Amino acid sequence: MAIEGFDYKGFAQNLAQQALELIPKDFNENQKNYVANTLLNFATIAGQALNDDNQMNFNLDQAMMITQIIAEWSFHKSVDLIRSGIPQQYWDPIMQKIAFTIFEIAKNAYHQGLPQDQCLQLIEHHVKKTYLDCIGELKDKNLIDEKLMEQAASQSNIDAMMQEQQAQAAAEQDAQQQAVPSNSNQTPAGVSEPVQQSLGAEAKVLKLATLALLFKKMRQEKVQTILNKFNPDDAQSVIKFMGMPDLGEKVDPNIAMRCLQEIKTSLPNPHQDLTPSKLIKKIQNVSQYLDKSQLEQKLRAERSKVKRFVFTALEGEYLEMPPKVANIIATHLEDSV
């Protein structure tokens, strides 16, 4: 049975239209078209598959969220592939594997009722792993060299966008603090008056109100850990929002969905301070649970450089590798224990 109210074609078109404004300005027409068409195609295919699914019975919100996640990662990883320098004839096979991975992981995660943050983290982990595996496969087949593989592996458009948004948000907040009186009565679009009275500037209201909606679905101890890193006033505002039973009705759902990715700019960045010593320690911690033969079994299908990196780290040395790539390897090992 089709999902009531789910216009997957229109939704995919809307996501693609929004993405056009975010495509890097230095891309040529072929590159811009590739990003936009890839996003549109995968979002449409995913939306139709969810709409036609008669087993998992997703609701409208779940179907829209899964479709949007596929669209967003299709955007980011197609940008990464273009930036990587990998020849275009290899782009489609890589993107197809990534899209299939997202679809299957997202479907199962949401069907099992995992909290939103766990769903997003799980998807991100598997997207990055699939991307690296595909690049490694090209290297193993001698279709690209070691230098190009490492260049491709270091690409992360989502991190670049988050850093840019964080800088922009900080600049906007400074400007708003100087320009907006504390007793301003203006109410921003998409948010009702009670929400506006609790905070001030529109951008901050939208982000913190959306964050409160997300936190309502998380374990409270994890919420508190995150809030401890916030400005005390912002943390208190989020707590007040979480106590509003009708918050979901006061925040426009479309605006909330667009804010989901921006929320990461307010959360601790897991990629910060990835020093060699910390990465080595992550690998060595795994050795407390797995002996050398077990590690070799875990790594049997990995590329030779990945194996060298792990066993070199166990000896206390850091084999030169982009920190983000090294962190993905270390995290993957931790998750397998």
Note the pTM of the prediction, 2 decimals.
Answer: 0.53
Measure the CA–CA gap between 74 and 57, rounded to whole angstroms: 24
Kindly state the tokens that stand for 287: 């050795």
Lowest mean pLDDT among 84-98, 151-165, 188-202, 296-310: 188-202
Q: Which range, 52-66, 151-165, 180-194, 209-223, has the best average confidence (pLDDT)?
A: 52-66
Over residues 164-187, mean pLDDT:
52
Give the angle subtended at the CA of 8 by the CAs of 3 and 12, to the nearest 5°.
Answer: 155
pLDDT of residue 62: 87
Separation between Cα atoms, residue 6 and residue 82, nearest integer Å: 32
* Pick from 105-119, 174-188, 212-226, 273-287: least confident: 174-188
With 0-12 CB in 10 A as exposed, 13-18 as middle and 19+ as buried, what is 8? buried
Compute the average pLDDT of residues 1-5.
79
Q: Give the residue among 133, 126, 57 at the shortest CA–CA distance from 93.
A: 133
Handedness of CA 109, 114, 116, 117 (dihedral sign): negative
Return mean pLDDT, the chain: 78
Distance, CA of 132 to CA of 87 (rounded, Å): 16
Q: 240: which DSSP letter?
A: H
The mean per-residue pLDDT over the stretch 143-157 comes to 88
When mean pLDDT is compared across 79-88, 120-129, 244-253, 306-315, the lowest value belongs to 244-253
The 8-class DSSP code of residue 62 comes to H
Task: Tell me the range of 20-29, 254-263, 287-296 where mean pLDDT is highest.
Answer: 20-29
Write the pLDDT tens digit of every residue in 188-206: 444 444 333 333 345 666 7
Q: Average pLDDT of 50-62? A: 86
Question: Any idea which of 137-146, 152-161, 229-238 has the lowest mean pLDDT?
Answer: 229-238
Phi, psi dihedrals of residue 191, rounded to the nearest 5° = -135, 135
SS3 (DSSP) at 69: helix
Give the whole-angstrom CA distance, residue 243 versus residue 231.
19
Helices (H), the chain: 8-20, 29-52, 60-84, 91-111, 116-140, 146-153, 157-179, 193-198, 202-215, 220-227, 232-242, 247-250, 253-262, 276-286, 292-298, 304-314, 323-336
| pLDDT at residue 98, as a whole number | 94
* Overall average pLDDT of the 283-293 stretch: 81
pLDDT of 321:
77
Largest CA-CA distance found in the chain, in angstroms, rounded = 66
- Alpha-carbon distance 215 to 223, whole Å? 6
- 97, 91, 7: which is closest to 44 by C-alpha? 7
Which band of pLDDT confidence, cut at 50, 70 and 90, is reported for residue 181? Answer: very low
Task: Give the separation between CA 31 and CA 107, rounded to whole angstroms.
Answer: 30
Structure tokens at 321: 């590798």
Q: Strand pairing partners for 191?
A: 251
Show the tokens assigned to 212.
Answer: 């409160």
Confidence of residue 322 (pLDDT cuts 50, 70, 90): confident
Q: What is the pLDDT of residue 225?
A: 65
255-286: buried (b, 16+ CB within 10 Å) or exposed (e) per residue? ebeebbbbbbbbeeeeeeebeeeebbebbeeb
Query: What is the average pLDDT across 135-162?
Result: 86
Alpha-carbon span 35 to 27, nearest angstrom: 10
**313 in Cβ contact with 277 (< 8 Å):** no
Judge whether residue 262 has pLDDT over 70.
Answer: no
Q: Specify the residue for token string 């301070």.
A: 273
pLDDT above 70: percentage of residues in the chain:
74
Query: Is the pLDDT assigned to residue 127 strictly greater than 50?
Result: yes
Least confident piece of the model among 17-21, 54-58, 135-139, 329-333: 329-333
| CA–CA gap between residue 257 and residue 68 (Å, rounded) | 9
